[in-house]
């Protein structure tokens, strides 16, 4: 056994190697991405590993591998499960032969997400086991066991860490990676794999019959624990159990829930020995509902009576507040604090030299009165530039744009979508928009990579997750084959041409596509790009601040004059914006 200081997601990835995973797929999404990013570094020891184009595709690929007897892992963030929900809901009917684990990383507080949905609900909905670890060691150990459980019950198993597990670190005990792998071997069995009504009715009954055994096994495996210490008790799930352990008084009992479904008899035995119980879990009241079902006269404190919130992430101080409210403790465990007020905010911002900034700039200049649906990616930060009017989920910029254009709204509709998001679910919307006669402009922000989640390759990159060259995908041909006749590709650093192309598009009708193409500046720099930076000639600068309004982090303004700091990557766009001609490339430093 080896002890390492590891990121949660890296510990989870290591556990998959210990379990001898044979097939890995997923779509990047914070906070899940580092699991496959880590496995990519050892892709030579895993028979198949891929970044898929979306979560449904990833799920179905991995499911098929598990039908063939392989151990398969599929990873995604919580909202990715929505995309994969269609196969998920029936995969529990068909079951699996090889161990099949769905890693669904939840994001309470929506640190990097559009919502705070709780994947435990999905697991219950699909009737599959869900492991909900309270820390990194539990996530690691649970991941190894998840493959065994999946094979024992012939069911997919969900592992559901939250951001504070995926992106926290700790001293973790690791096992040895397994050696030897399985080769897929499909055994034909239509009664299992062809879910026509006659088959699926039987499969559903079989799925329901598996449930009691799963509940018992989760207790035997030690996922759910109880310690009796008094007449009052705390029941805590997931990472809330770790926070609760930090603040709970010695005379209060504690049950920790690390996996679902919860065995009702086990829970009732604990509940019945207490008079008052505080239930602590982030997001949905899953445990609380189970407790209320078995409670008989006990006072239950939780979300349903206002002791804890339904939203956001928990912390030791928040739990201390609930303990106090329920009179489990008296006095304050933590000091009251006052954060500094009126500080300039420092939100994340598009990089200096990011191709999205100039595209947004040109779009706003040409389509002054336009409506700008956008999508999920770095470019959602275009909100700060007034260039993002809607964002709801992956691929929805194009469909929201067509919906707006087809409902009678008369202003120009110009939507933006990244290359990876376009290939994820955007292209379906484009097909539909052309087919149904929408009048709109689609700007594909093509930086050749899935940037926001840490630069994962996609079919547009020309490389697979394992670094193997893949056939280059042509966005131009793809759009044309959807029936778009106006498809123009432009270098977004060429502001003049970019503006001209936008004007040309504005003059046309129907669905028009502009592909703005420049590599992500972070990737370009990593690959050795060096351009001389720009500077402001102070004497020529009139202090008009047009360059400042461009919003590049390399441009500053002091004493009525603009200046350029060392973040400048030399993209040259600000020099085109400056009406005084005061910005020019530095002569060799």
Partner 1 sequence: MKTGFDIMIVGIGGQGTILASNVLGEACLVEGRSVRGAETHGMAQRGGSVESQIRINCEFGPLIVPGTADLLIAFDLLEAVRYRHFLKEGGEMIVNNQLVLPTSTFTSGQAPPTENDIIGMLKGLKISIVDATAIATAAGSPLAANIALLGAASHSIPLGLESLLEGVRRCVPKKTIPINEKAFLDGRAAVNP
Question: What are the residues binding partner 1 (CB under 8 A)?
Answer: 3-5, 7, 30-31, 34, 111-112, 135, 164, 167-171, 239, 242-243, 245-247, 315-317, 333-340, 343-351, 378, 381, 384, 452-454, 548-549, 551-553, 555-557
Judge whether 574 is annotated as a binding position.
yes
Run of H or E residues at 39: helix 34-40
Tallying the residues shown for the chain, one arrives at 589
Spatial contact of 229 and 248, defined as CB atoms under 8 Å apart: no
Cα 571 to its chain centre, rounded Å, is: 30
Cβ–Cβ < 8 Å for 138, 222? no
Shortest distance (Å) from residue 172 CB to partner 1: 10
How far, in Å, CA of 386 to CA of 379, rounded?
Answer: 12
- From the list 183, 50, 59, the residue with the least C-alpha distance to 470 is 50
Instruction: Using the minimum distance from each CB to partner 1, give the nearer residue, 380 or 458.
Output: 380
Query: Which residues, 6 or more positions from 561, have their beta carbon under 8 angstroms from its beta carbon?
Result: 536, 538, 541, 543
Which residue in 370, 358, 398 sits closest to 516, CA to CA?
A: 358
- Count of Cβ atoms closer than 10 Å to residue 505 Cβ: 22
Closest by Cα among 110, 137, 102 to 8? 137
Q: 482 a known binding residue?
A: no
Query: Closer CB to partner 1, residue 123 or residue 378?
Result: 378
Q: How far is the CB of 502 from partner 1 (least distance, A)?
A: 23
Choose between 201 and 549: whose C-beta lies nearer to partner 1. Answer: 549
Q: How many Å separate Cα 579 from the centre of its chain? A: 41
Please, what is the minimum distance in Å from the beta carbon of residue 355 to partner 1?
Answer: 14
Helix (H) or strand (E) holding 507: helix 495-507
Closest approach, Cβ 143 to partner 1, in A, equals 19
CB of 547 to partner 1, least distance (A): 10
- 339 SS3 class: coil
Q: What is the rounded CA–CA span in Å between residue 90 and residue 127? A: 10
Least distance (Å) from partner 1 to the CB of residue 557?
Answer: 5
Can you read off the two tokens belonging to residue 478? 């793809």
Minimum Å gap between C-beta 152 and partner 1 is 31
Closer residue to partner 1 (CB): 343 or 468 = 343
Query: Is 568 within any annotated ligand binding site?
Result: yes
The residue (of 378 and 440) whose beta carbon lies closer to partner 1 is 378
How large is the C-alpha radius of gyration of the chain?
A: 27
User: How far apart (Å, rounded) are the C-alpha atoms in residues 50 and 35?
Assistant: 12
Residues in CB range of 32: below 8 A, 6 or more apart:
9, 26, 75, 76, 77, 80, 103, 104, 105, 166
SS3 255: strand
68 annotated to bind ligand: no
Minimum distance from residue 107 beta carbon to partner 1 (Å): 9
Question: Is the Cβ of residue 337 or residue 587 nearer to partner 1 in the bound state?
Answer: 337
- Residue 330 CB, nearest approach to partner 1 (Å): 15
Question: Residue 70 annotated as binding?
Answer: no
- Our CB check for partner 1 shows the closer of 126 and 381 to be 381
SS3 462: coil
**Any known ligand binding at 16?**
no
Write down the least CB distance from residue 246 to partner 1, Å.
Answer: 4
- Whether residue 544 is annotated as binding a ligand: the answer is yes
Nearer to partner 1, 50 or 138 (CB): 138
Query: Do residues 522 and 547 lie in contact, with contact meaning Cβ atoms separated by under 8 Å?
Result: no
Closer CB to partner 1, residue 63 or residue 287? 287
DSSP-assigned beta bridge partners for residue 72: 23, 100
Helix (H, G, I), strand (E, B) or coil at 283: coil
User: Which residue, 151 or 282, has its beta carbon nearer to partner 1?
Assistant: 282
Phi, psi dihedrals of residue 417, rounded to the nearest 5°: -155, 140
As annotated, the binding site for [4Fe-4S] cluster includes 541, 544, 547, 552, 568, 571, 574, 578
As annotated, the binding site includes 541, 544, 547, 552, 568, 571, 574, 578
């Amino acid at each position: 056994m080896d002890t390492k200081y590891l990121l949660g997601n890296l510990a989870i990835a290591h556990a998959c190697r210990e379990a001898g995973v044979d097939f890995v797929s997923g779509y990047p999404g914070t906070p899940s991405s580092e699991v496959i990013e880590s496995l990519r570094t050892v892709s030579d020891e895993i028979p198949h590993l891929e970044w898929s184009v979306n979560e449904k595709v990833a799920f179905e690929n991995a499911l098929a591998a598990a039908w063939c007897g392989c151990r398969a892992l599929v990873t995604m963030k919580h909202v990715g499960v929505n995309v994969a929900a269609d196969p998920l809901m029936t995969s529990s009917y068909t079951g699996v032969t090889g161990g099949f684990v769905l890693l669904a990383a939840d994001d309470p507080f929506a640190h990097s997400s559009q919502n705070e949905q709780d994947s435990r609900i999905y697991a219950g909905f699909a009737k599959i086991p869900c492991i909900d670890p309270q820390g990194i060691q539990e996530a690691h150990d649970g991941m190894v066991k998840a493959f065994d459980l999946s094979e024992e019950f012939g069911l997919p198993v969900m592992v559901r860490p939250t951001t504070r597990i995926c992106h926290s670190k700790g001293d973790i005990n690791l096992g040895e990676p397994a050696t030897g792998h399985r080769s897929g071997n499909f055994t034909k069995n239509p009664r299992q794999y062809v879910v026509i009504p006659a088959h699926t009715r039987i499969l559903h009954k079989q799925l329901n019959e598996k449930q009691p055994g799963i509940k018992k096994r989760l207790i035997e495996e030690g996922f759910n624990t109880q310690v009796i210490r008094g007449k009052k008790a705390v029941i805590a799930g997931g990472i809330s159990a770790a926070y609760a352990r930090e603040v709970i008084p010695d005379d209060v009992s504690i049950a920790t829930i690390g996996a679902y479904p919860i065995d009702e008899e086990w829970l009732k035995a604990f509940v019945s020995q207490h008079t008052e119980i505080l239930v602590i879990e982030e997001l949905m009241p899953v445990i609380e509902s189970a407790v209320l079902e078995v409670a008989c006269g006990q006072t239950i404190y939780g979300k349903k009576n206002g002791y804890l919130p339904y939203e956001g992430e928990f912390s030791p101080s928040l739990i201390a507040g609930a303990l106090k409210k329920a009179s489990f403790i008296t006095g304050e465990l933590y000091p009251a604090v006052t954060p500094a007020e009126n500080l300039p905010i420092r939100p994340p911002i598009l990089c200096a030299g990011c191709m999205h900034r100039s595209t947004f700039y040109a779009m706003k200049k040409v389509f002054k009165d336009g409506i700008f649906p956008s999508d999920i990616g770095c470019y959602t930060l275009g909100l700060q530039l007034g260039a993002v009017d809607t964002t709801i989920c992956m691929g929805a910029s194009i469909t929201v744009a067509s919906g707006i254009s087809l409902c009678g709204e008369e202003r120009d509709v110009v939507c933006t979508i990244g290359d990876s998001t376009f290939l994820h679910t955007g292209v379906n919307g484009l097909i539909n928009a052309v087919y149904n006669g929408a009048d709109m402009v689609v700007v594909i922000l093509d930086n050749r990579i899935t940037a926001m989640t840490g630069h994962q390759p996609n079919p547009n990159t020309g490389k697979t997750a394992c670094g193997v060259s893949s056939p280059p995908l042509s966005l131009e041909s793809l759009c044309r084959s959807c029936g778009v006749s106006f498809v123009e590709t432009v270098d977004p650093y060429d502001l003049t041409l970019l503006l001209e192309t936008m004007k040309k598009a504005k003059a046309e009708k129907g669905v028009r596509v502009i592909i703005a193409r420049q590599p992500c500046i972070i990737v370009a720099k990593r690959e050795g790009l060096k351009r001389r930076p720009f500077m402001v000639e102070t004497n020529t600068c009139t202090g008009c601040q047009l360059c400042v309004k461009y919003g590049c982090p390399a441009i500053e303004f002091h004493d009525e004059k603009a200046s350029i700091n060392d973040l400048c990557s030399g993209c040259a766009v600000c020099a085109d914006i400056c009406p005084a001609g005061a910005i020019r490339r530095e002569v060799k430093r």
